[in-house]
Structure 1
Amino acid sequence: MPRDNMTSTVQKIAKQALATFRNPSVIGEHNKVFLENQSKLKSLLAEVRAADLKIAARTPESAPVPHQRIAPPVTYMHICETDSFSMGVFLLKTGASIPLHDHPGMYGMLKVIYGKVRISCFDRLDKPRDGASGVQFNPPLMPFQRGSLRPSVLKSVGEFTEDSSPCVLSPQQDNIHQIDAVDGPTAFLDILAPPYDPDEGRDCHYYKVLQAHSEAADKKSEVQDQGDVWLMEIPQPSEFWCGGEPYPGPKVTL
C-alpha cells in the first residue's frame, strides 16, 4: 500500500477504532484501558476534515425536474467494516433527516465534516418514573400498540459543525437519536461498534415521540414536565431511505 494511505488520517482513525473495540472483555464505561482508547479515538476523530476523505462539500440541491427519478435523501459511503466496528460517511441533503432510531448494545461516534446537523438524543428508562400512572395519549393508542411503548428521557438537543467535538453514544447513553440537516446539505463520519447485525440482536429500530397527558384535568403528566417522553416503535418511515455512493478517500487496511 502507498505510504500516504498508511499514514492517512482515516487509516489512523480506523486503527484506533480497532484497538478500542476489538476486545469485548475490556469494553465498558468502568474499564480504564477502554476509556483511554476511546479518548484517543475521540481526539483523532475531532481532527478529521472533509479534505482528509477527499469529499467536497455539496451545494444546496435544485428543485427536481418533472419525471426525474427522486434521489434518496440520505446516502452512505462505506469505508471499512470488521467484526468489531464499521466506519463510513453519511451525506444528508438539505432538509433531510435520519429519523429517531437506536443502536442496540452499540457504541458510536459521529463527527461532522461539513455543514451542520441537529442531534436529538434520548435515553431509555428501565421503567416510568413516579407520576406516570394514568397516562393517556393523543390520539389514543390501540391496545396492541402499547406493547411498543418505551419510557424514555430527552437528554439533549444540540447542533454540530465541523468545528464541534464528536458526538459520542454508548449502549446506555444517547443511544436513541435523530439527526437533522440544518441550513443546507451536511455530512458526517460515523463509527459504530460493533456493527449492526440482526442475527446478533443488533437491528435498527425506529421510533416516534408520543404526547402524553394525565387523566386528571387533561394536563401534561409529571413525567412530561421532567423531560420524560414515551417512544413508540414504528416501521421505517416511508419518507426515509438511504442510498449508496462510492467512497473517494484513502483506502483503509486492517
Structure 2
Amino acid sequence: MPRDNKTALIQKIAKQACVTFRGLRKSSPEANGGNEPAGVNDQGELISLVTAVRAADLKIAPRKSRSGSGAAPVTYMHICETDVFSMGVFLLRSGASIPLHDHPGMNGMLKVLYGKVRVRCFDKLEGNAADGVLPPFDPPLGPPQAASVWRAALHSVAVHGESGGPCLLTPVRDNLHHIEAVDGPAAFLDILAPPYNPDDGRDCHYYKVLRTAAGGDTGGGRTGEGEEGEEEAWLLEIPQPEDFWCGGEPYPGPAVSV
C-alpha cells in the first residue's frame, strides 16, 4: 500500500495517539468500577499505524552489536511528549533486558522495529502480602520486605518481531512486564499514555519474582513462546537493579509536532 509522502508515518502515529488516548483519559478504571476505561478497545486506527512502522521510517539502522564494557545495556531515543502521551525508542544490546517494572494507571504500546524481544506480562491481583499469609520464601524475607510483596498472575510470555503488531498494556492488564532482547540486538517503539509523572502517582517501580522454599519460582518460570497462562506469582518491589541503567541517544528520524 503506497504511503502518504507528505506526512511522515511517525507524525501520523503521534497525531492519532493524541486522539486515541485523549479519548481514553475521559474515563478511568475508578469511574468504571475497576474495569477498563470506556473505549479501551477502540484503538484500531492507532494499532494499524503502529503495526506498519519500521526502523527505516525513523531513520534507525539495525545494529549488529553494541559493544563496550561501559556502554549502557539499554538506550532511549526521545521523540515527543505531551500531557496525553510520550513516545520514544528503546534500543537493547544483545542479551540485554529491561527488568520487570510497572506502568501505574497507564496504557501503552510496544512495537518492535528490528530484532526480537521476549515480553513476560504480569497482572497484579487484589491486595498485597499484608492482606494474607505469605508462603515461606527462599531466602526468607524480613518484615520490611514482606510489606512490599504483591500477589500477581503471569498472564503471558511471547516473542515479538518487527513483522507483528504491537504488544498492548492497560492500567489493569499486562501492566507489569519484563522485556529482553532475543538472539541479538533489538529496538522497539514505546508509547505510554499518560507519561510517567511521579507527582501524579505515575512513578516506575521494579519487581523481583520470588522463589518459594518448596516450589521454586512462583510464576517465574517461562512458558513456551506465545503461550498464555494465569500462573500465580509473588512479586517483591525492589530498587532499580544495579546492573540496569538506561542511556540516551539522539533521535535521527522525522521531526514530530504535537
**Pairwise TM-score range, normalised by the shorter structure:** 0.7 to 0.9
The residue aligned with 2:208 is 208
Aligned residue identity for 1:48: V
The residue aligned with 2:249 is 245
The residue aligned with 2:41 is 35
Per-residue CA deviation, residues 45-80 of structure 1 (Å, 9 max, x unaligned), is 000000000000011245x4xxxx601110000000
Partners of 2:66 and 2:97 lie apart in 1 by: 15
CA-based RMSD of the aligned residues comes to: 2.4
8 A contact 1:5–1:11 mirrored in 2: no
The residue aligned with 1:49 is 54
Partners of 2:218 and 2:198 lie apart in 1 by: 36
Aligned residue identity for 2:84: S
Give 1:127 deviation, angstroms.
3.8
1:58 aligns to 2:58 (yes or no): no
Q: Please state which structure has a larger fraction of its residues in strand.
A: 2
Per-residue CA deviation, residues 7-41 of structure 1 (Å, 9 max, x unaligned), is 11000000000001124214663624x532x1211
Gaps in structure 2 of 5+ consecutive residues: 30-35, 222-229
The residue aligned with 2:177 is 177
Aligned residue identity for 2:75: T
8 A contact 2:27–2:37 mirrored in 1: no
Change (3 A) 1:169 1:250: same
The residue aligned with 2:231 is 227
State the TM-score, normalizing by the size of structure 2.
0.85
Moved over 2 A (4+): 26-32, 218-226
Aligned residue identity for 1:31: A
User: 1:1-254 maps to which residues of 2 (within 5 A)?
Assistant: 7-23=7-23, 24-26=25-27, 29=36, 31-32=38-39, 35-36=41-42, 38-62=43-67, 64=68, 70-127=70-127, 133=133, 135-213=135-213, 218=214, 227-254=231-258
Change (3 A) 1:134 1:75: closer
Partners of 1:220 and 1:60 lie apart in 2 by: 34
SS at match of 1:171: coil
SS at match of 1:11: helix
8 A contact 2:101–2:176 mirrored in 1: yes
State the TM-score, normalizing by the size of structure 1.
0.87
Give 1:123 deviation, angstroms.
0.2
Change (3 A) 1:220 1:243: closer
8 A contact 1:119–1:177 mirrored in 2: yes
Partners of 2:13 and 2:198 lie apart in 1 by: 26
Change (3 A) 1:70 1:137: same
SS at match of 2:75: strand
8 A contact 1:5–1:252 mirrored in 2: no
8 A contact 2:79–2:89 mirrored in 1: yes
Partners of 1:94 and 1:196 lie apart in 2 by: 27
Give 1:139 deviation, angstroms.
0.6
